[in-house]
Amino acid sequence: MAEAIASKDDYRRYFAADLASHGLTQWRRRDGMRQTELSFQRLLRRLEYLENCRRDPVGRLLAAITRWRYKRRSVLLGFTIPRNAFGPGLSIAHYGSIVVNGNARIGRNCRIHSDVNIGETNGQAPTIGDNVYIGPGAKIFGPIRIGDRVAIGANAVVNRDVPSDVTVGGIPAKVISQRGSNTLVIDGCSAVGL
C-alpha cells in the first residue's frame, strides 16, 4: 500500500518531488546551512535508498555511515522521523520538534510543521492520505485513517477518522470547514511527473 524508494531512480524522483514541494527546483550544496530542513530530507531519502536497495558490502557500509549521520542530525533538529513513512513530495516546514511513529504511513506531498506528534495507541498508528497539511502543534494518534487533501489546524488533537477534503481543528478535532488543503500544500509530485 505505502510507497517506498525501490531504486536509485526512485531516490532521485523522491528528492526532486520534495524539493518541488518546498517550492524549489534545484538543490545546491551551499544551501545546506540555509535550507536546514531540506538538507535533512536529503539525508532521509538517501538513507531510505541505501537501506531499501543496497545489499552489497559497500552499500551496507554507506548505510551504516548515513544512519549515524541521520541520527545525529535528527537529534540536533529535534526530529524523530522513521524511514519509509512519508511518500514523495514531503515538505518539513521548520526544525523544532517532530515525532512520527514507525508504524505511521503518510501519503504524497505532506506539509508538516513543528511541534507535531503522529503517535501510536496500542502499537497502531495513523494512515494519512495525499496532500495533507499538518499545522503546527497538531497531535495525531491511534489506528485512524485521514483522507486526502485534509488540512489539520494548529494544536488540533486528532484521534478519529477524517474524510477527504475537509479542515479539522480543536481538541478533540472536529470538521470546521469543507475546504481542504488546496492552498496550503504544493503538489511537488505532479511538478516532477511522479
Q: Which positions touch a copy of itself (CB under 8 A)? A: 33-34, 36, 68, 71, 75-78, 80, 93-99, 113-115, 117, 119, 122, 135-137, 139, 141, 153-157, 169-172, 183
**Minimum CB distance to a copy of itself, residue 139 (Å):** 4
Residue number with CB closer to a copy of itself (169 or 188): 169
Check the CA dihedral 84-86-87-91 and report its sign: negative
Residue holding cell 489506528? 143
d(CA 133, CA 186): 10
**Minimum CB distance to a copy of itself, residue 14 (Å):** 24
**Minimum CB distance to a copy of itself, residue 12 (Å):** 27
Residue number with CB closer to a copy of itself (11 or 141): 141
Residue number with CB closer to a copy of itself (20 or 156): 156
Contact present, 141 and 156 (Cβ < 8 Å): no
Contact present, 89 and 108 (Cβ < 8 Å): yes
Residue number with CB closer to a copy of itself (39 or 190): 39
**Minimum CB distance to a copy of itself, residue 123 (Å):** 12
Residue number with CB closer to a copy of itself (24 or 53): 24
**Minimum CB distance to a copy of itself, residue 173 (Å):** 9
